[in-house]
A and B are shown apart, each in its own frame.
Chain A
């Protein structure tokens, strides 16, 4: 019984983090049609920066205030420079989509190797509420619960941002139809840059959370990108509730499988998505 509780609780915790990462990726793809395979590198850079800062004496929660705006600004600048130019020179949407993806592949190599150059391959970690408590017979470290709480706060805040604010409305309009939104007076370029920046910000938030308990290395980027991509395909490309649902599912399945053998998680994820694509190519909540 306590094993099941353990799997569920840890699954939900990881699911929250995966949902956060995947939300950023699906936002960047859904609105800007940029499949950003460098997404996990934002997470890696933020996780490593936050660990370094905390080691230097900063409070872990305060490192959000540094990593998140930094990731937003970097994403924003990348979008208004290279992606805006690419959009201008591309002859149609399909060309833009494949070239944007290739460019993010280049970006992945730049960011990943910057991380490796700065931090090497050793892992970084710090102690923050790392003592265990008992919940329903399962033993959970307190910092994992903090991670879950913060992840939920970010997910809820993001939904409020998307549904209640003016920028959120313009983001949703742009994701439905770029041309129609432009005719209605939405500033498309700015909206797309904000989306890309917000995507980076969400990845960075997940990065700080991962830094709290999971001792990241400078190589965590790629595996998180892969997970985020799988989650996004599972939930439906461009669907933000789908990203959260897919994240939860992948988190739970991952914990259940890693109870048997942790190195088979990737196989389970991949098989799950392959089967889903055969049955329902749009993804769980895809349009």
Chain B
């Protein structure tokens, strides 16, 4: 297959790649504050991209991001004294992958609502198990995590952003990605043309969980101390959804834009008004669903299309903004 270069479509990939390369030089001139903030933003970019990678095309809404990030946290917590950072990320990712595969194998055969319910409860379940483990077995609340330094965490996040971007783009172009989209459009039709729907869904879900687990492992090294309450946090399930809904769930740029906007907002508001900002985020989520169902990218595309249509006076088809 010869790949045809399409400027309007591919310019977004080039811009994103340029931004990633630019970020590689940030530690040379940035302060510690800038580094921590950009690491946080990058964590959310990975989370929202991997969330939208599975839930965007298939329409199966996962609310378990908090569980996978938390598993990454604990992978770091248990092993940070003996293993290097890449190994921690790998372990965090694999544990999340395994859990997602198990949960997916059971619930992804059923209608989407069961999947949502189970993923929602999963965060509380893993939290309960970890709390039980700490109270009954080790009798010590929380774990200390070795800090590998701000620069290391930054570069680890950057590498994960690059990997996630590549994974998302490759999957989008591949048969596997098309199978995911097909499942979202019509599951029955997808299985009739020979797609093994359950296997595809489970694998897609597990890959997205893997990516979340790895950034969780990096994130924990930035925090010094973790406990079940802060690791298996509904916030981590909520924010990727909010970011994707705001940015545009089915677009490539949407989750990235959403992640950047809300990570910065959260970072600047979390100390000043800890509860009120969550109330505002909740309200933004509701308003975004109601008034911009295709996200900010969808709004932008609609505006562009309207301007073009106005110029050509032809009133072409409307499917470009879908």
Q: What is A's interface to B at a CB cutoff of 8 Å?
A: 29, 35, 37, 82, 85-86, 89, 94, 97-99, 101-103, 105-110, 112-114, 116-117, 222-223, 225-226, 229-230, 232-233, 237, 261, 263-267, 270, 273-274, 277-278, 281
Contacts and interface: CB of A to CB of B under 8 A. Distances in A.
Contacts of A233: 114, 117
Contacts of A112: 278
B61 A114 contact: no
B59 interface: yes
A130 B244 CA distance: 49
Contact of B290 (A89, A225, A261, A264): A89
A212 B255 CA distance: 45
B117 A108 contact: no
Nearest to A38: B282
Given A37-B120, A103-B289, A110-B283, A281 B110 contact: yes
Interface of B: 59, 61, 63, 106-107, 109-110, 112-114, 116-118, 120-121, 124-125, 128-129, 131-132, 135-136, 234, 238, 241-242, 245, 275-276, 278-279, 281-286, 289-290, 293
A232 B114 CA distance: 10
A273 B103 CA distance: 12
B289 A86 contact: yes
Given A94-B59, A114-B279, A263-B131, A35 B289 contact: no
Contacts of B125: 266-267, 270
12 contacts: A35-B117, A37-B63, A109-B278, A109-B281, A113-B275, A261-B136, A264-B132, A265-B128, A267-B132, A274-B118, A277-B107, A281-B110
Contacts of B124: 222-223, 226, 266
Nearest to B133: A263
Contact of A263 (B109, B110, B132, B279): B132
A264 B132 CA distance: 7
A265 B131 CA distance: 12
Contacts of A29: 113
A35 B113 contact: yes
Contacts of B110: 277, 281
A101 B116 contact: yes
Contact of B283 (A37, A106, A266): A106
